[in-house]
Chains A and B, each alone.
Chain A
Amino acid sequence: MITSNLLNDLQMFVSSERIVKAQNGDDFLGNSGRIVVKPESEEEITKILQYANLHNRKISIVAGGTKRGFGGTTEAEDIGVSLENFKGITEHAVGDMTLTVKSGTPFKELQAYLAQYNQKISLDPFYPERATIGGIIAANDSGPKRLGYGSARDAVIGFRIAYPDGSVIRSGGKVVKNVAGYDMNKLFIGSMGTIGVLTEVTLKLRPLPQYESVILLAFPDGHHEWLKSFAAELLDSMMEPIALELLSPTLSEDLTGHRNYTVAISFEDVETSVHYQEEFVKKISPPSVNVSILEKEKACQFWEQFYNIGPKVTETKETEATLKMGVVNLDVIRVIQECEYMSDVHHLKIEGHGGLGHGLCHVHLSGAAEDVKTAIGQLRKLATELNGYAVLKYLPLKLRQEITVWGERPSYFFWLEGIKEKIDPKKILNPGRFVGGI
């Protein structure tokens, strides 16, 4: 009854063919809606929000669906707002190198469009075909090239945000440098859709590099001290790697065919500079390390494959999970080692990688639910020992209801809660999706 009323009400804002009643039982990831609406304009979005706010309806926001396993303990909220139809470029100022885009636009589409102008967004998120720019930013997703190019907080210069009360707020602007007022952009990056629906994103762009390569260094087993001293030497040099990512042997086998601790180093610059840096890497590599170089398209292909590792975001027989772990740069080696040890002990497939220059790791686990849970516990313990954190970036709903996704509340949680309460006092947006149940 309630659902059918809701259905009728929503038809006031969105035409009926864009309102779908959810099927039961297809939501092993949760974060869905009993009724899913697909707005096509900002106005439709604000009207839905205004309605939900007035009638205390809870909203779950989705677009490409790649982050439905990230946070939240509810199978379906009252309304699922899907932004999959809310896409397209609003403005591309080619000479100013800025781009304004609707939040439901898939990332890869954007990069393909920008490539025609020799430009790109300097982010390298996972699942670029399906992930949308809004989702990537709301979840603050980033990949290995963060070392060279930074993350969403370095690329975003402005937003239009639909607030829970239906008003629209602009933050930042369309220029690359801006300190007018609070830096509100930062508040929404990584906020998991809990304080507003991003409708438009303005990004600063970078030129496409003229040349690029990936060097793969396969380290022989049992020589972790070489790994550490190699990474330290490269980081202390004047070379400018865009990525310096350590891959666990299991992951390396999948990607390169060699079951070794492998360091993937990306260089992007003019061709002479890339080759010069490759030579430097060869020079400082320990003698028994196997060095191979992927140039140009082969380098691109390597990363394309890389960005699609991990859970397939569909229901599988084995339980799949992804942890994002943050530690201090060189502690990444310990995290990736631990992954390898644990895969033997727990009969799990564990693939891990982490940035030796930025300290962020991703660990993909696959196996029996109980083993996955145990491994998560152990990795969390390690993160704590290393003064870092471990967040569950992907986990089926059932397990999210058992294990806390975000770990311990930070000591300053009071202020985080204060922000949520101020902006979304009725807690209608993505309820419970974020740290400490925000």
Chain B
Amino acid sequence: MVKKSMQTIDKDIMNLAKIVGEKEILFKQADLLAYDCDGFTIHKHLPKAVVFPNSTKEVAEVVKYCNANQLPFLARGAGTGLSGGAIPLNGEVIISLVKMKRLLSVDLENRRAVVEPGFVNLKLTNSIADKGYYYAPDPSSQYACTIGGNVAENAGGAHCLKYGVTTNHILGLEVVMPSGEIIDISTNGVLDLPGYDLLGLLTGSEGTLGIVTKITVRILKNPEAKQTVLAYFDKVEDGSQAVSDIISSGIVPAALEMMDKIAIEGVESAAFPVGHPKDIEALLLIEVDGISVGITEQIKQILEVCKTRNVREVKVAQSEEERGRWWANRKTGFGAMGAISPDYLVQDGVIPRSRLPEVLARINKISEESGLRIANIFHAGDGNLHPLVLFDARQPGQTEKALAAGSECLRVCADVGGTITGEHGVGIEKREEMRFVFTEREIAAQTDIRDVFNPHNLLNAGKLFPSPGRCAEVKKEMKNGREAFA
């Protein structure tokens, strides 16, 4: 019956259905609506179809078909991306990898695991936890996001301060190239394969250089001990100084997170309140891990630093349950903004840690000037800020104002020698802001690389790079870019 109805429609849909199976394709408008955006909801566009391949071979065949018929296409995981990387701007055929979600192998002796791209991040840690192992990159959406998506975005997380982001944990990839050819880059996990580092280049390429179909990741042994500290500050400056002091004292915390007053108001009004005082200006959530005896000394040092920086109250988690509550409160921080604002926009700039007080003051000014509240939740240890611009899309003009304020925040980050994204990616959202940090020539160097892999630009076109041209502005940016990095 499905067959019959399909014969009346597009030949491409029929042919794609032949590759993946009739039950593994969506093409009716009502079904496609769920795929018109990802975690970045400001741009929307309907795909031509969504296919759900079950194997690398099927992915490759779909890609080859798209190539032969000049159909734009892109890969999608759980759709949790925050910069719009999986939005079908050009009416793409979406290749959803959610059915390729097996854990293929775990090799504890050599500390590696092989997963399919649709395998959910947190499931990997859950699958090996009983043996005392875990997978380090832990984006806040880890309960839902897929490892394939993590590779595309080079996802970070709260604990990447000590352990690094996704790229530091990828040992090998099987990739369907934009031509449909399947390549294997070190899926057995051997390091430093001769040749340019395609693993490093593909990781974080936001789905524009290839489609990952198998991933070999490094897994780590759980640390012997872990301790978590919560510190409340009356002044943001004191909190920021404490961050700098901790880092420069020689401690490498596993995580060092900060929230400001508005963010605290948000998380305390949402699903996981922990009773933070509402009149403080900043809190720090600090975690150290490693050898037990070493940690005791580090905690002592951290408590001293906090005291020197006029902390109002500082406490060490007394149980795993308490630690868990503190983290749940932090990790659901973005969503919590929904409790105090109808809409919010998440930004993702990075600054040199030492510029934190200055940057927070400038963000505050942007908030005053735009009339929009901006909450700050961030990975303070590595200078990765997440300004959350609160707005009400029902009010005419507010969405534009929020976008402009978000962009201004990124401008500030670039101005102080930082960058426009630390873990969310450029996607659609920050295409134009790429010019805050790169010259036209530098952007061309990157699109040159894209042309090597994706010469017809059928794979995920329109992402990552600003629209070409605009000479006058370009010149200005080149000058600024140089100053910012000088």
Enumerate chain A interface residues (CB-CB to B < 8 A): 93-98, 118, 140, 142, 150-151, 153-154, 163, 167, 169-171, 173-187, 189-191, 195, 206-208, 210, 232, 235-240, 269-270, 272-273, 276-277, 324, 326-330, 357-360, 387-389, 391, 406-407, 410-413, 415-416, 418-419, 422-423, 434-435
Evaluate whether A419 and B449 lie within 8 angstroms (CB atoms) in the complex, with A183-B167, A273-B294, A387-B188 already known. yes
B297 at the interface (CB under 8 A from A): yes
Contact A422:B448 (CB < 8 A) given known A170-B485, A174-B485, A326-B192: yes
Q: B111: which of A272, A329, A388 is its contact (CB, 8 Å)?
A: A329
Given contacts A179-B204, A238-B224, A422-B449, 10 further A-B contacts (CB under 8 A): A97-B247, A176-B382, A177-B165, A179-B425, A182-B446, A183-B201, A186-B201, A235-B109, A276-B294, A418-B452
Stretch of B91-99, B118-126, B347-355, B365-373 that contacts chain A? B347-355
Instruction: Assess whether A173 is in contact with B437, with CB atoms less than 8 Å apart.
Output: yes
With A and B bound together, what is the CA distance between A401 and B401 in angstroms? 64
Contact residue among A153, A173, A423 (Cβ-Cβ distance under 8 Å from B200): A153
CB <8 Å contact, A170 and B438? yes
State in angstroms the CA–CA spacing of A186 and B205 once bound together: 12
**A359 near B191: Cβ-Cβ < 8 Å:** yes
Note all chain B residues with C-beta closer than 8 A to A187: 196-197, 200-201, 449
Shortest CB-to-CB span from A184 to chain B, Å, is 6
Whether the pair B167, A175 counts as a contact (CB closer than 8 A) is no
Task: Among B168, B292, B421, point to the contact of A180 (Cβ < 8 A).
Answer: B421
**Measured CA separation A190–B352 after assembly (Å):** 27
A237 contacts B221, C-beta separation under 8 Å: yes
The reply to whether the CB of B69 lies closer than 8 angstroms to some CB of chain A is no
The reply to whether the CB of B76 lies closer than 8 angstroms to some CB of chain A is: no
Asked if A184 contacts B189 (CB within 8 A), the reply is no
**C-alpha gap A389/B191 in the complex (Å):** 10
With A and B bound together, what is the CA distance between A235 and B110 in angstroms?
9
B354 and A93 form a contact (CB under 8 A): yes
Contacting B293 at CB < 8 Å: which of A177, A232, A276?
Answer: A276
State whether A169 touches B352 (Cβ < 8 A). no
A-binding segment of B30-38, B48-56, B152-160, B279-287: B152-160
A208–B249 alpha-carbon span in the complex (Å): 10
Inter-chain contact B252/A186, CB cutoff 8 Å? no
Chain B: interface size category? 35 or more
Distance of A359 Cα from B216 Cα, bound (Å): 15
The 10 closest A-B pairs by CB, nearest first: A186-B200, A273-B294, A207-B250, A238-B224, A95-B354, A418-B452, A177-B422, A273-B291, A412-B183, A96-B352
A190-B196 contact, Cβ under 8 Å, with A412-B183, A422-B449: yes
Inter-chain contact A186/B197, CB cutoff 8 Å: yes
User: Chain A contact residues: over half helix, strand or loop, or mixed?
Assistant: loop
**In the bound complex, how far is the Cα of B190 from the Cα of A229, in angstroms?**
21
In the complex, are the beta carbons of A189 and B451 less than 8 A apart?
no
Q: A238-B222, A239-B291, A269-B291 are in contact. Are A95 and B248 (CB under 8 A)?
A: yes
Contact B195 A435 (CB under 8 A): yes
Residues of B within 8 A of A179 (CB): 153-154, 156, 165, 204, 421-426
B272 within 8 A of A: no
Cβ–Cβ contact A269 & B290, under 8 A: yes
Of A94, A150, A330, the contact of B109 (CB 8 Å cutoff): A330
B383 at the interface (CB under 8 A from A): yes
Residues 419-460 (chain B) with a chain A CB within 8 angstroms: 419-426, 430, 434, 437-439, 441-443, 445-446, 448-453
Residues of B within 8 A of A328 (CB): 110, 188-190
Complex contact B193–A154 (CB within 8 A)? no
CA of A269 to CA of B297, assembled, Å:
11
Q: Whole-angstrom distance from the CB of B257 to the nearest CB of chain A?
A: 13
Asked whether B252 lies within 8 Å of A206 as measured between CB atoms, the reply is: yes
Instruction: Say whether A177 contacts B250, CB under 8 Å.
Output: no
CB neighbours (8 Å) of B439 from chain A are 170
A272 touches B485 (CB 8 A): no
Which B288-315 residues have C-beta < 8 A from chain A? 290-294, 297-298
Q: CB within 8 A of B352: which of A98, A208, A422? A: A98
Question: Chain B residues near A173 (CB, 8 Å)?
Answer: 350, 417-419, 437, 485
Tell me whether A272 and B294 are in contact in the complex, defined as CB-CB below 8 angstroms, given that A174-B352, A181-B443, A236-B221 are known contacts.
Answer: yes
A150 to B244, CA, bound (A): 24
Contact in complex: B188, A95 (CB < 8 Å): no
- Closest-CB distance, B109 to chain A (whole angstroms): 6
Residues in B neighbouring A272, C-beta threshold 8 A: 293-294, 297
Q: Which residues does chain B contribute within 8 Å of A269, judged by CB atoms?
A: 290-291, 294
List 27 interface pairs A-B (beta carbons < 8 Å), by A numbering.
A96-B354, A97-B248, A153-B197, A170-B442, A173-B418, A175-B350, A177-B423, A178-B419, A178-B421, A179-B426, A180-B434, A181-B426, A182-B464, A184-B449, A189-B200, A195-B196, A236-B132, A238-B291, A240-B291, A273-B293, A273-B294, A276-B294, A328-B189, A329-B111, A389-B194, A412-B195, A416-B195
Chain B residues contacting A387 (CB-CB under 8 Å) are: 188, 190
- Complex Cα distance, B197 from A411, in Å, reads 14
Which residues from B are CB-within-8-Å of A410?
193-195
**In the complex, A330→B445 CA distance in Å?**
40
Q: Is the CB of B446 within 8 A of A184?
A: yes
Kindly provide the distance from the CB of B200 to the nearest chain A CB, expressed in whole angstroms: 3
Partner of A435, one of B194, B203, B417: B194
